Amino acid sequence: MRENNIIQVRNLSASFNGRDILSDVSFDVFEKDITVILGGSGAGKSVLLKHMLGLYEPREGSIHILGHDMAGLEEKDQKQMYLRMGVFYQNGGLLNSLTVGENIALPLEQHTDLNDELISRIVWTKLQLVNLPNAYGLYPSQLSGGMLKRAALARAIVMDPPLLFCDEPGAGLDPISLASLDKLILNLRAQMGISVVIITHEVSSILRIADRIVFIDEGKVIFEGTLNEGLESNVEHVYQFFEKGKL
């Protein structure tokens, strides 16, 4: 059993309006791994992510991230915790009224004492890392879908977080843009040594980037293991998911 787990989810249960969404969910995310949480629509993936981000309180169970119990955090500690996590939202979540450069600089301006010159250098560096060197002064509405995702990724990593969460990063992208985004995530992991948790159901993407997978079905973890173990799994839903997804 590996010991360098940076996320520990134990016996997590959640329900809304009396309906169980997650029940007894337990799994680990290990340092510098790309862990994909997958499952069909309505399986509870997004609710699980919101619990991991501390946006929802667990009904039962616990979530430890980087050694801290997310449920018991004071507001100040929660803020410190958010500074150590990057979150990449499905639709980018960039503020339309700001340029790409201003969007990426925002966390630095708000949470550090860095002067404008240093901030601008860091922003350029991040834009360079996501292959968007010319997007600094452009507004989100002027970017294509793929560029928007890369700009959002640059903002998610601007504070050099050790942990990056990606919520459906490939949604709405064509296969070529998706492959390029996957490559980018792999590069960032190699360059920055970050651990990545990705919520997705894009089989092609999972096959390219996942080290480990956690399969959720009807609010329960039905499989947890490496990608290869998942591909050889006899669990009915996991087998069907990969077989039909390859078609």
Tell me which residues touch other proteins (CB under 8 A).
95-97, 108, 112-115, 117-118, 120-122, 124-126, 128-129, 133, 136-137, 139-142, 158-160, 191
Give the containing element (helix H, strand E) for 104.
helix 100-111
Cβ proximity to other proteins: between 87 and 143 the closer is 143
DSSP string, 114-179: --HHHHHHHHHHHHHHTT-TT-TT--GGGS-HHHHHHHHHHHHTTT--SEEEEESTTTT--HHHHH
Measured from the CB atom, the residue of 4 and 240 that comes closer to other proteins is: 4
Q: Which is nearer to other proteins, 30 or 136 (CB)?
A: 136
Strands (E), the chain: 5-16, 19-30, 34-38, 60-65, 68-69, 85-88, 163-167, 195-199, 212-217, 220-226
Nearest approach, Cβ of 112 to other proteins (angstroms)? 6
Q: How far is the CB of 87 from other proteins (least distance, A)?
A: 18
CB of 145 to other proteins, least distance (A): 14
Least Å distance, CB 137 to other proteins, is 7
Closest CB to other proteins among 105 and 206?
A: 105
